[in-house]
Every structure is written in structure tokens, then in C-alpha cells.
């Protein structure tokens, strides 16, 4: 059943040796000025050595304005930060895995930024929920200022130059634009955080426009032959159970527009990726992505550490499954499956009290 997961495939010229990927996970282990560290290189290397064919980094901030979300989050906002990623990329590639940079702008849910005071979001609406303590947060989120047209242009340009550095200086194989989980691009997409009446607000297509503008900018910077994709979700770090109001019609617009833009891959994430995306029955979000973006490689994420579930999704058209907690528990999960060894259970203690990389993990 799992054999299919061990076949290779191609994402716009980047060849993954199997269909197991590590999901992006912020571990706040960079230096204070946002450079990736040797500990991070060792941490990421374990996944590649353990058989994962694709390793996606944690969300990397893109500019020296409002993109940074967390203290000790790594950035790629200047050349020194980009050079610091080289050790991570070469550690991943040394074991034949693809190195994918996830680039992100935290927007209104930033809880630590050394470049700017205050936050920006689509509209002056206080984010739901509370800051994450395991990323050094406390209290409620600040009410953001409504991001100006000029600042939107700056944010879009930041994604472009960040991607260019990721490709040219750090040597990443592919770029993932973080359009999910409640961060800036998802704040634009989400009805209740985007009350704009200009071209960045309105119906679903209009609310997706900033993501598409980022996509076009990054594509222009990295060229047609570098694999480029977007991560999309309904749920958010600060609103776990959110569902798109328009259901499957919204999915058609979101995934169809990304397909039209030329996305090489789409990475969908749900809490339990095998469940219907809307209501009690119907297709998964991954199946909807495949349906409306048939040429894109589909990555699916969400409680897929159970090999049977992962195989089910793969049989239904998902090209690659990505694991978060499952990869933390068993950084060598693909090798364990090949060798018939049991998997470890995820222990949340790893992520507390701060979500930084623990010495015990490096021994796994």
C-alpha cells in the first residue's frame, strides 16, 4: 500500500526521490538578527538523512519592514541571512533531498519584529486569539494599522527579493509562498480580516489578488524553471476551525486562480487532511486542489503520520504528503517504514516551554 509513496516525481525539474515531505515548522532557533544556525543545519539534516525526499523550511521572513513574526525567527531579508542558510541547504542536499524555502510575512499576527513597532494587516481589525507563548508571545495581538498601497508594494517586492536570495545565494531547489495559516496573505484572503474596499478587498478573487501579485513577483525574480508553489489553508494558528464561506465554489476560485498563475505546486493543509473539506461528506481540500489545478503537484498536510491515511490520500491524487508532528517524532520516518520499524509517538514536550530545537531531538 505504501509503495507508491516511495516512487519519485518531478516538480518543474526538481526531482523528489519519494513522496514524503517535512512540513514547515517554526522553531525560533535563529540568532537574534535572524541568521540560520549550525544547530538548525543539524536539525534539518536529520530529516533528509532519515529518508524524507523533500524538506520544507520553517517560515522565513522576507523583508526589513513588517514581515518578521517571531523573535529568533530566521530571515532571508539580506545577503548575510541568505548566506547563513547555505549550511542548512547543503546539509539537506547531502542526503539527496529537495530543499524548499518557505517565505512568509506575518502581517497582523506578528508578535516579535526588530525592525518596526506595531503591525500591519489588511484592515484595522484585531486578530482573534492570543499570541503564542511558545514563540515568546504574551497577551492579545495588537490592532494592526491598515497596510497602505505603498507598504503592500514593499511587501510584494520583499517576497521577490527573498526568493531570489533563497535561490541564488542559499541554493534552495524550490520556493513555497506562505499563503496559509492566518499570516498576511491569508489575512487578505479571509473575509473577516479583510474589509478593504480597494482592489485588494471584495470577493474571493479580489481577496486572493495580493497572493497572486506575490506569486507573479516571485516568478519574475526566480524565472520559469525554478519550482514555485503556494501553501493554502482554511484554518489558522489563531482560528483553527475556520471554513471558507463559499465552500467548494471558493476552492474552485482559489485553486483555479493559482493554476492560471502557473503554480508548480500547491500545498494544502487541514487539521485532518483526509476528511471532507466542507461539511460531513464530499471531497478533501487536496482533492479539490487536484481537480481545479490538475497540472500542479499537490502536497497535502494534516495528521498524515498514519501510513494508511497517507496512502489513501496518495491514491486519491495527492502527489506528496507532508508531516509536521510525525516528522518531529520520527525524523527518520520514511526509513522506518522501509525497514518495518515502528514509529515514535509525538511528544509535545519537545515544543515547550519555548518551541526551540532541543538537544534531545538532535540525538534522534
The binding site for ligand FMN (CB under 6 A) comprises 23-26, 58-59, 102, 178, 180-181, 231, 269, 301-304, 323-326, 351, 355
Closest to ligand FMN by CB, 145 vs 350, is 350
Closest to ligand FMN by CB, 134 vs 146, is 134
Minimum Å gap between C-beta 301 and ligand FMN is: 5
Give all strands (DSSP E) within the chain, no chain letters.
9-11, 14-16, 20-22, 54-61, 98-104, 120-121, 145-146, 174-178, 227-233, 265-269, 297-301, 320-323
C-alpha–C-alpha distance, residues 315 and 44, integer Å: 28
C-alpha–C-alpha distance, residues 150 and 137, integer Å: 29
Of 89, 90, 59, 93, nearest in space to 77 by CA: 59
Distance between terminal CA atoms of the chain? 27
Structure-block grid coordinates of residue 106: 506575518
Of 220, 210, 216, 325, nearest in space to 263 by CA: 216
Q: Are 277 and 241 spatial neighbours (Cβ–Cβ below 8 Å)?
A: no
Closest to ligand FMN by CB, 178 vs 290, is 178
- The partner residues of 322 in beta bridges, in order of sequence, read 21, 301
Instruction: Tell me which residue has its CB nearest to ligand FMN.
Output: 324
Minimum Å gap between C-beta 260 and ligand FMN is: 23
Closest to ligand FMN by CB, 206 vs 332, is 332
Minimum Å gap between C-beta 148 and ligand FMN is: 26
Minimum Å gap between C-beta 268 and ligand FMN is: 10
Closest to ligand FMN by CB, 145 vs 346, is 346
Closest to ligand FMN by CB, 150 vs 359, is 359
Minimum Å gap between C-beta 309 and ligand FMN is: 10
Closest to ligand FMN by CB, 221 vs 231, is 231
**Cis preceding-peptide flag for 353 (omega within 30 of 0):** yes
Minimum Å gap between C-beta 23 and ligand FMN is: 3
Q: Which residue has the cell 549550525?
A: 38
Minimum Å gap between C-beta 67 and ligand FMN is: 13
Crossing angle (nearest 10°) for helices 248-261 and 209-222: 20
Q: Which residues of 174-205 are buried (b: 16+ CB within 10 A; e: fewer)?
A: bbbbbbbbbbbbbbbbbeebbebeeebbeebe
Residue 266: φ, ψ to 5°: -130, 130
Minimum Å gap between C-beta 241 and ligand FMN is: 14
Closest to ligand FMN by CB, 117 vs 241, is 241
Amino acid at each position: 500500500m505504501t509503495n507508491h509513496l516511495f516512487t519519485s516525481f518531478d516538480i518543474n525539474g526538481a526531482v523528489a526521490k519519494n513522496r514524503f515531505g517535512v512540513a514547515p515548522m517554526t522553531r525560533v532557533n535563529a540568532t537574534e538578527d535572524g541568521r540560520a544556525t549550525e544547530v538548525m543545519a543539524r536539525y534539518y539534516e536529520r530529516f533528509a538523512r532519515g529518508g524524507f525526499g523533500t524538506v520544507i523550511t520553517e517560515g522565513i521572513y522576507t523583508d526589513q519592514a513588517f514581515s518578521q513574526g517571531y523573535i529568533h525567527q530566521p530571515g532571508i531579508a539580506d545577503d548575510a541571512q541568505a548566506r547563513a542558510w547555505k549550511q542548512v541547504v547543503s546539509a539537506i542536499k547531502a542526503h539527496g533531498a529537495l530543499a524548499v524555502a518557505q517565505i512568509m510575512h506575518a502581517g497582523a499576527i506578528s508578535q516579535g519584529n526588530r525592525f518596526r513597532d506595531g503591525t500591519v494587516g489588511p484592515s484595522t481589525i484585531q486578530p482573534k486569539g492570543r499570541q503564542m507563548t511558545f514563540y515568546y508571545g504574551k497577551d492579545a495581538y495588537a490592532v494592526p494599522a491598515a497596510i497602505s498601497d505603498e507598504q503592500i508594494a514593499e511587501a510584494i517586492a520583499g517576497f521577490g527579493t527573498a526568493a531570489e536570495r533563497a535561490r541564488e545565494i542559499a541554493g534552495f531547489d524550490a520556493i513555497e509562498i506562505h499563503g496559509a495559516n492566518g499570516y498576511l496573505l491569508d489575512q487578505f484572503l479571509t473575509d473577516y480580516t479583510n474589509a478593504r474596499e480597494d482592489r485588494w478587498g471584495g470577493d474571493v478573487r479580489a481577496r486572493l489578488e495580493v497572493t497572486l501579485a506575490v506569486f507573479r513577483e516571485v516568478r519574475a525574480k526566480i524565472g520559469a524553471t525554478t519550482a514555485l508553489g503556494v501553501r493554502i489553508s482554511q484554518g489558522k494558528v489563531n482560528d483553527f476551525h475556520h471554513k471558507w464561506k463559499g465552500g467548494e465554489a471558493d476552492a474552485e476560485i482559489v485553486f483555479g486562480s493559482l493554476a492560471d498563475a502557473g503554480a508548480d505546486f500547491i500545498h494544502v493543509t487541514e487539521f485532518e487532511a483526509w476528511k471532507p473539506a466542507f461539511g460531513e461528506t464530499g471531497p478533501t481540500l487536496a482533492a479539490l486542489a487536484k481537480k481545479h489545478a490538475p497540472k500542479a503537484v499537490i502536497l497535502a498536510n494534516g495528521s498524515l503520520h498514519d501510513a494508511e491515511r497517507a496512502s489513501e490520500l496518495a491514491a486519491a491524487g495527492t502527489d506528496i504528503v507532508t508531516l509536521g508532528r510525525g516528522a518531529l517524532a520520527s525524523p527518520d520516518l520514511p526509513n522506518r517504514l522501509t525497514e518495518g520499524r515502528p514509529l515514535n509517538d509525538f511528544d509535545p514536550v519537545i515544543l515547550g516551554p519555548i518551541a526551540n530545537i532541543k538537544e534531545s531531538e538532535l540525538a534522534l
